[in-house]
Structure 1
């Protein structure tokens, strides 16, 4: 039991958090390599952005939500600095994932990010399709597919903290099937902490 406990704990510890900042109508970084179990932490800067999972080669085109699952943060308005809350999404495999900001013309203007690009599933290809559009599409309803948590300030380049408002404070791992997509990423809402706590309790 102790051996399996430590193996599980080690596996959880191996997952890393990748900080993605939304600033100046762009994602930084916007071309990401990630492993299964890694967490994307979206940190919101001025002035008003969202993050939505799209889909490569979607029949609905670029800048539209994935058809099933996926994730959606809602809009987060920030006056300065970075919002106190960040939106976290846990990746459950290494398939290519594309995400965008659905606010106004931000997606057509290139506010797009990609995880594990390969073949034709690249940021450049998606941005080229997005540029043909006039606006991005937002999912309906509350945020889903991720969870809002206190922002990890260790990634800050300065100590400034912004004020923000979000359209929701939590999200489930099940998306609105009418507006979400072939969702590879899923969220573990506090799952890592709860699982690790349970495992350590069993080991005692």
Structure 2
């Protein structure tokens, strides 16, 4: 399956300040079944990607291309987001893109079957050419029989949206220090 690309517009700051709000893209996790929507995200350095979780329980974990369904060292991990129907969760997970290298992602939830092995994978900034495609990553993931989760969340912020639409950080910000795999 081919992925779609998320789009969002810059929100300009007050006139004359020369600043702009960060470009934010939202990815739905589990909204349409065991999938990330969109599953292919193109983002510039400094842009934020917010993961919004849907029932029943999902996560976002960074993997190396050649080792799907297993976490990369010091990679992104949202933790688990158990979410009652109809969703979405009252919390989100937001990362900031640090470079333009590919970031391969999967869901490490195991019930009712391992989500990664069911093909629940995504990529941020896929390679423009070569054999490392989302379809190849998904095919390799489907050859696995299990998923592994890191011990602790890393690489982003868990936030609870307020009714006004602003967000409040509810955990200590994690710092993404690992290199993205390509």
Structure 1 residue runs of 5 or longer lacking an equivalent are: 156-167, 176-180, 185-204
1:149 alignment counterpart: 159
Task: Give 1 or 2 for the bigger CA radius of gyration.
Answer: 1
Give the superposed CA RMSD: 2.5
Instruction: Give the helix-richer structure, 1 or 2.
Output: 1
Partner of 1:79: 84
Match of 2:5 in 1: none
- Report 1 or 2 for greater relative contact order, CA contacts < 8 Å, sequence distance ≥ 6: 1
Offset, 1:169: 4.2
1:125 partner SS? helix
Change (3 A) 1:63 1:152: farther
Worse-superposed segment, 143-152 or 90-99: 143-152
Contact 2:101 2:180 in 1 (8 A): no
Cα distance per residue 1:59-111 (max 9 Å; x no partner): xx2111112x2211111101111011100000011111111101111001110
Does the 8 A contact of 2:156 with 2:176 survive in 1? no
Tell me which residue corresponds to 1:192. Answer: none
* Normalised TM-score (structure 1): 0.68
Q: Which has the higher strand share?
A: 2
The 8 Å contact of residues 126 and 134 in structure 2, kept in 1 or not, is answered as: yes
TM-score, structure 2 as length reference: 0.76
Aligned ranges 1:16-165 → 2 under 5 Å? 16-23=23-30, 24-57=33-66, 61-67=67-73, 69-80=74-85, 81-104=87-110, 105-118=114-127, 119-140=130-151, 142-151=152-161
Q: Distance in 2 between matches of 1:87 and 1:120?
A: 30
CA distance in 1, matches of 2:102, 2:43: 10
Aligned partners of 2:75, 2:17: CA distance in 1, in Å?
A: 31
* Residues paired across the two proteins, number: 154
Between the aligned partners of 2:175 and 2:90, the Cα distance in structure 1 is: 22
Q: Is the CA contact 1:96–1:121 (under 8 Å) kept in the aligned structure 2?
A: no
Q: How far 1:138 sits from its partner (Å)?
A: 0.6
In 2, Cα distance between the equivalents of 1:170 and 1:151?
16
Unaligned runs of 5+ residues in structure 2 are: 1-15
Greater than 6 Å deviation, 4+ residue runs: 152-155
Whole-Å separation in 1 of the counterparts to 2:57 and 2:132: 27
SS of the counterpart of 1:87?
strand
